[in-house]
């Protein structure tokens, strides 16, 4: 029952931690008076893969209770999804479209999308924990024999490159 | 009322997928083009070709960022709006979702590595191209995984239903079916063709801005030539996979084929029908071209091949009749695109100058974008053609939708933001491509 929960909590917790740091960076950027692009690099976009993985694991492992689970988390996850889209739009606009100067309101808006994503994702996580504890859903453990070797192989493939990217990043 | 919610939710999912597919086909094809041009640059020691590969990789990065966002929303919609699909099939077809997440990580990490090591002296060109190959591998595995889920929804396998419960679940059999491989091959070739032709069109636009006498030696002409020669190979392969798909449909999804090809009566000597409209009673009306025996020949290599028609299912269990017209539009576009491609290849072979002239380039620019529409129409035919089923033969679409929330209230926020994301992504791509240094 709890195996699915653990598999969801590990990547989502790492994501939230990294996203807290990203939120701090966006806050710092909003406080700056100039428009230097001193913040997000492409490497940070890699962290979003963790969120997608968390959601996939959650939905695949608790697929048999998806009706109940989806109604428990529907509102906060839809809001978080919408905010993620807005964040993506702002990210692309601020870092790839605008040239030199732009309204600082955009930086603040960018920061607030981060902040609210964090809040709503935390609500989703707590609601998932609450749902699993109260409803005792059956997890699809038949995937575990494939999931674990797959994860080890993937980590073996990416850990070296990831270390390399962060080491050489300017 | 429930019917309205089902239709609204289908439109919503269709919008999101339509946008996501546009982005993902570039994400799947551009890495291949980047590696190819990087290789050509190395072989010819040509800085211009290397700069092109760099530029395309930057565009690719912007599109991946947009794709991550739209992909997250699609994943959310699929699970939350249609929980019935995973509730029924999650135990059987969950494996490709897990594989997709692994493939996605590999793609994302190696994309970052590929981008960060363009100008690193310690990284050899071959190693850099290897990083790019891993992006291709990750993207391709990711696309394969998701396509297997769709193939399974079209033809569910790998389980039995005993006493109303799922038994004998075989996750590998469900994932690696013949259907999945055919669907994957055909859709990938469609993506490649669409993006290659868009690239050819974009560089044809650039070529038109040059003087006619300079065009022959222009790097823009080099790109157009390479893209169209490649598209010639891809379109031939697509025709092969398309005909295999038709055979597969005849054997496994006969009603979808019957509706697409407007086969109103079952029997041998089935004709290929182009044109006409299926009315609300399932009768074919209006002007049309009929090629006798052609459909039987296509699906069974003999005019005696029996083809199931729409008469074997009641009207309520048939897909919407307009998919026949969608298929006609798709095939017309495929025909025009093929003609444009092969005329160009003929021109290159004969060393003719007409392919450098404004009139031909205008045609190329106009029809080059057809590929994008062809891919979208292909997916519409696959999805709408399966209706009224979400999981063919097991779960109806109306039963797969969430029972607890009114999706129409929330969901229409997404198409609105997709439009904005599309505009911003376009502006970002335009900015990168107009900056000579690509900063």
Instruction: Tell me the per-residue pLDDT of B178-191, one tens digit each, with 9 for 90 and over.
Output: 889 999 999 999 99
Neighbouring residues of A130: CB distance < 8 A, sequence distance ≥ 6: A72
Instruction: Tell me the per-residue pLDDT of B138-173, one tens digit each, with 9 for 90 and over.
Output: 999 999 999 999 999 999 999 999 888 888 888 888
Residue B1 has pLDDT above 50, yes or no: no
Please report the pLDDT score of residue A42 as a whole number. 53
Binary contact (A157, B106; C-beta < 8 A): yes
Residue from the list B73, B110, B112 with its beta carbon closest to the beta carbon of A42: B112
What is the 3-state composition of chain A as percent helix, strand, coil, each rounded to the nearest 5?
A: 85, 0, 15
Within B100-246, strands assigned E span: 160-162, 165-167
Binary contact (B105, A158; C-beta < 8 A): yes
CA dist B259 to B76, B149, B220, B412, Å?
A: 31, 23, 43, 30
Residue B438 has pLDDT above 70, yes or no: no
| ipTM of the complex in this document | 0.83
Q: Work out the number of other CB atoms within 10 angstroms of the CB of residue B216.
A: 12
Which B positions 401-420 lie with beta carbon below 8 A of chain A? 402-405, 410, 413-414, 417-418, 420
Q: Work out the number of other CB atoms within 10 angstroms of the CB of residue A31.
A: 11
Number of cross-chain residue pairs from A and B with Cβ atoms under 8 Å apart: 188
Please report the pLDDT score of residue B38 as a whole number. 94
Residues in chain B: 439
Residue from the list A59, A88, A143 with its beta carbon closest to the beta carbon of B86: A59
Report angle CA B124, B130, B132 to the nearest 5 degrees: 110
Please report the pLDDT score of residue B217 as a whole number. 80
Whether the CB of B110 is below 8 Å from some CB of chain A: the reply is yes
Q: Are B177 and B155 in contact (CB under 8 A)?
A: yes
Taking contacts as CB-CB distances below 8 angstroms, the residues of chain A near B400 are: none
Binary contact (A142, B427; C-beta < 8 A): no
Average pLDDT in the B284-289 region? 89
Binary contact (B112, A43; C-beta < 8 A): yes
Whether the CB of B83 is below 8 Å from some CB of chain A: the reply is yes
How confident is the prediction for chain B on average, in pLDDT? 88
State the smallest CA–CA distance between residue B83 and chain A in angstroms. Answer: 5
Taking contacts as CB-CB distances below 8 angstroms, the residues of chain A near B432 are: 96
CA dist B86 to A134, B151, B286, Å?
A: 21, 14, 41
Residue from the list B113, B402, B428 with its beta carbon closest to the beta carbon of A92: B428
Instruction: Tell me the per-residue pLDDT of B199-251, one tens digit each, with 9 for 90 and over.
Output: 999 999 988 888 877 777 888 899 999 999 999 999 999 999 999 998 998 88
Domain ranges for chain A: 2-169
Task: Supply the pTM of this predicted model.
Answer: 0.90
Q: Are B193 and B235 in contact (CB under 8 A)?
A: yes
A97-101, B133-137, B285-289, B433-437 — which is least confidently predicted?
B433-437
The confidence band for B3, taking pLDDT boundaries of 50, 70 and 90, is low
Binary contact (A46, B109; C-beta < 8 A): yes
Binary contact (B97, A60; C-beta < 8 A): yes
Instruction: Tell me the per-residue pLDDT of A88-112, one tens digit each, with 9 for 90 and over.
Output: 899 888 888 876 677 778 889 999 9
Binary contact (A51, B418; C-beta < 8 A): no
Q: What percent of chain B has pLDDT over 70?
A: 96
Residue in chain A nearest B69 by alpha carbon: A85
- What are the residue ranges in chain A where pLDDT is below 70? 1, 34-46, 99-100, 166-170
In angstroms, the CA A64 to CA B89 distance is: 9
Neighbouring residues of A133: CB distance < 8 A, sequence distance ≥ 6: none
In angstroms, the CA B257 to CA B276 distance is: 16
Q: Are B287 and B275 in contact (CB under 8 A)?
A: yes
Neighbouring residues of A27: CB distance < 8 A, sequence distance ≥ 6: A111, A114
Looking at chain A, the number of H-run helices and the number of E-run strands are: 6, 0
Report angle CA A112, A114, A118 to the nearest 5 degrees: 115
Instruction: Tell me the per-residue pLDDT of B58-96, one tens digit each, with 9 for 90 and over.
Output: 999 888 888 888 888 888 888 888 888 988 888 898 889
CA dist B164 to B104, B390, B394, Å?
A: 36, 18, 11
Please report the pLDDT score of residue A41 as a whole number. 58
Whether the CB of A97 is below 8 Å from some CB of chain B: the reply is yes
Please report the pLDDT score of residue A40 as a whole number. 53
**Chain centroid to CA B391: how far?**
20
Taking contacts as CB-CB distances below 8 angstroms, the residues of chain A near B73 are: 81, 84-85
Q: Are B396 and B89 in contact (CB under 8 A)?
A: no
Exposed/middle/buried for B167, CB within 10 Å: 0-12, 13-18, 19+? exposed
């Amino acid at each position: 029952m709890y195996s699915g929960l653990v598999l969801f909590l590990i990547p989502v917790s790492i994501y939230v931690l990294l996203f807290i740091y990203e939120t701090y960076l966006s806050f710092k950027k909003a406080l700056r008076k100039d428009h230097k692009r001193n913040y997000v690099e492409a490497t940070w976009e890699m962290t979003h893969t963790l969120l997608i993985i968390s959601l996939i694991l959650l939905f695949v492992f608790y697929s048999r209770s998806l009706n109940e689970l989806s109604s428990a988390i529907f509102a906060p996850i839809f809001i978080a999804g919408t905010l993620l889209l807005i964040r993506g739009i702002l990210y692309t606009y601020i870092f790839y479209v605008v040239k030199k100067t732009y309204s600082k309101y955009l930086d603040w808006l960018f920061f607030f999308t981060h902040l609210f994503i964090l809040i709503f994702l935390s609500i989703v996580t707590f609601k998932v924990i609450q749902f699993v504890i109260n409803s005792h859903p059956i997890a699809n453990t038949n995937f575990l024999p494939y999931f674990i070797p797959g994860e080890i192989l993937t980590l073996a493939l990416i850990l070296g490159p990831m270390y390399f990217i962060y080491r050489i990043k300017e | 009322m429930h019917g309205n919610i089902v239709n609204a939710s289908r439109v919503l999912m269709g919008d999101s997928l339509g946008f996501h597919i546009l982005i993902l086909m570039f994400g799947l094809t551009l890495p291949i083009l980047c590696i190819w041009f990087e290789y050509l640059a190395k072989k010819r020691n040509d800085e211009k070709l290397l700069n092109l590969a760099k530029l395309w990789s930057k565009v690719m990065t912007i599109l991946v960022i947009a794709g991550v966002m739209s992909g997250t929303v699609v994943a959310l919609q699929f699970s939350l709006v249609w929980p019935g699909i995973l509730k029924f099939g999650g135990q059987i077809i969950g494996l490709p979702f897990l594989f997709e997440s692994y493939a996605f990580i590999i793609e994302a990490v190696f994309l970052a590595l590929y981008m960060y090591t363009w100008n690193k002296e310690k990284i050899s060109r071959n190693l850099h191209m290897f990083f790019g190959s891993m992006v291709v591998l990750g993207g391709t595995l990711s696309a394969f995984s998701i396509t297997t889920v769709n193939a399974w929804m079209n033809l569910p396998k790998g389980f039995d239903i005993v006493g109303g419960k799922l038994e004998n679940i075989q996750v590998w059999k469900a994932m690696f079916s013949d259907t999945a491989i055919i669907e994957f091959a055909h859709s990938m070739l469609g993506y490649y063709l669409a993006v290659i032709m868009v690239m050819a069109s974009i560089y044809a636009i650039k070529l038109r801005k040059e003087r006619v006498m300079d065009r022959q030696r222009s790097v823009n002409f080099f790109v157009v030539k390479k893209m169209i020669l490649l598209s010639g190979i891809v379109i031939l392969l697509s025709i092969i996979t398309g005909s295999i798909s038709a055979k597969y449909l005849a054997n496994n999804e006969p009603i979808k084929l019957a509706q697409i090809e407007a086969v109103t009566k079952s029997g041998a000597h089935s004709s290929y029908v182009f044109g006409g409209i299926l009315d609300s009673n399932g009768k074919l009306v209006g002007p049309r071209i009929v090629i006798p025996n052609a459909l039987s020949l296509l699906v069974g290599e003999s005019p005696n091949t029996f083809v199931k028609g729409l008469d074997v299912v009641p009207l309520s269990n048939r897909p919407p009749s307009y998919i026949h017209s969608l298929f006609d539009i798709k095939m017309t576009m495929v025909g025009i695109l093929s003609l444009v491609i092969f005329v160009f290849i003929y021109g290159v072979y004969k060393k003719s100058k007409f392919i450098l002239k404004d009139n031909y380039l205008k045609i190329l620019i106009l029809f080059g974008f057809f590929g994008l529409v062809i891919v979208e129409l292909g997916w519409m035919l696959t999805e709408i053609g399966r209706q009224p089923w979400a999981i063919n033969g097991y779960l109806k679409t109306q039963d797969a939708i969430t029972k607890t929330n009114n999706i129409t209230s929330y969901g229409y926020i997404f198409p609105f933001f997709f439009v904005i994301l599309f505009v911003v992504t376009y502006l970002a791509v335009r900015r990168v491509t107009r900056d000579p240094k690509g900063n």
